Structure 1
Amino acid sequence: MKSEEKKELHELFDENGNLISPALPEGVKNYLIDIDGTITEDVPNEEPERMSTCEPFPDALKTLNSWYDEGHIICFFTSRTEEHREITTEWLDRNGFKYHSLLMGKPRGGNYHWIDNHLVKATRYRGKFTDLIEKEVTIQVFDDGNH
């Protein structure tokens, strides 16, 4: 990204580092990324002692850090609870993940259906981080009477 675009991105945070509700610059993506089973082995909340010793998936670390370096927003969104925030932050930092924010308490389970007034793109993790490609798929949409 050009330096003026990076400056614009940094202005999305106030002087205390708090996120300001932004309109992202053209071309900047806001990635919401799960932790357990996505960037490391699947560690259940009931086994918090494993959270500090699990190994990151090398392809995830490389890919996510490159997205960060390209100027995209990286937000980890995890089912870990607030009581796991410190161990999770320490693990992310120790393993070299670059990120902007960490959201705790994502509902557990796998049947997510996100409804928003903005375009939402979802990519299911299937065991390897690679470049994202364009693919046509069938999705559910609201019936506006013009089907």
Structure 2
Amino acid sequence: MQLEHKDNVSPVLKDGIKNYLIDIDGTITDDIPNEEPERMATCLPFPDALETINKWYDEGHIICFFTSRTEAHREVTEQWLQKHGFRYHSILMGKPRGGNYHWIDNHLVKATRYNGKFTDLVDKEVVIQVFKD
């Protein structure tokens, strides 16, 4: 893993290494609601998602799945990821449902909205919200 740990201090990402937070339902597989957990074990991954995420992992990037699935769904989720060969470092469960996420941090944060296919990421100029001076 491309992290440096020192005496119970948060790890430091090495230069060029990204920390990816990736949704599960509707992003790497079908959009399965928590109300239908029986589908979580049998859905199939999007092939381009599996290939791309594992490529990022192999390049040394940090992969964290950030999902609206609840802690009650952790076991089926971990088994599904393992069954299909996803390589990752961690999973954060219980992300609020909805689509109006806004991350505030003292570090540069980049966001990419999944729009049907995992491909290489490219730079694009867009309008963003910032704090008023």
Short-chain TM bin? over 0.9
66 and 13 in structure 1: CA distance in 2 versus 1, 3 angstrom threshold:
farther
**In 1, Cα distance between the equivalents of 2:11 and 2:62?**
11
Write the letter of the residue equivalent to 2:51: K
**1:35 paired to 2:14:** no
Q: Which residue of 2 aligns with 1:78?
A: 67
1:121 to 95, 107, 110: 110
Secondary structure of the structure 1 residue equivalent to 2:21? strand
Identity %: 76
Structure 1 residue 93: Cα displacement:
0.3
Please say which structure displays the higher CA radius of gyration. 1
Q: Deviations over 1:67-122 (max 9, x none)?
A: 00000000000000000000000000000000000000001000111111111100
Cα distance change of structure 1 residues 141 and 10 upon mapping to structure 2, 3 Å threshold: closer
What's 1:93 paired with?
A: 82
Aligned-pair Cα RMSD in Å = 1.7
Q: CA deviation at 1:11?
A: 4.3
- Gaps of at least 5 residues in structure 2 are none
Q: So what's the TM-score if we normalise by structure 2?
A: 0.95
1:72, 1:29 → 2: CA distance? 5
Whole-Å Cα distance in 2 between the matches of residues 20 and 92 of structure 1? 29
Residue 59, structure 1, aligned to residue 48, structure 2: yes
Matched, 1:131 2:130: no
C-alpha displacement of 1:23: 1.7
Letter in 2 for 1:57: F
Mapped to 1, the partners of 2:6 and 2:40 lie a distance apart of: 29
The answer for the alignment partner of 2:12 in structure 1 is 23
Distance 1:58 1:95 in 2: 10
The AA in structure 1 aligned to 2:95 is K
Aligned-partner residue type, residue 106 of structure 2: N
Structure 2 counterpart of 1:3? none
TM-score (norm 1): 0.86
Asked if structure 1 preserves the Cα contact closer than 8 Å seen for 2:4 and 2:12, the reply is: no
Secondary structure (helix, strand or coil) at the match of 1:22 reads strand
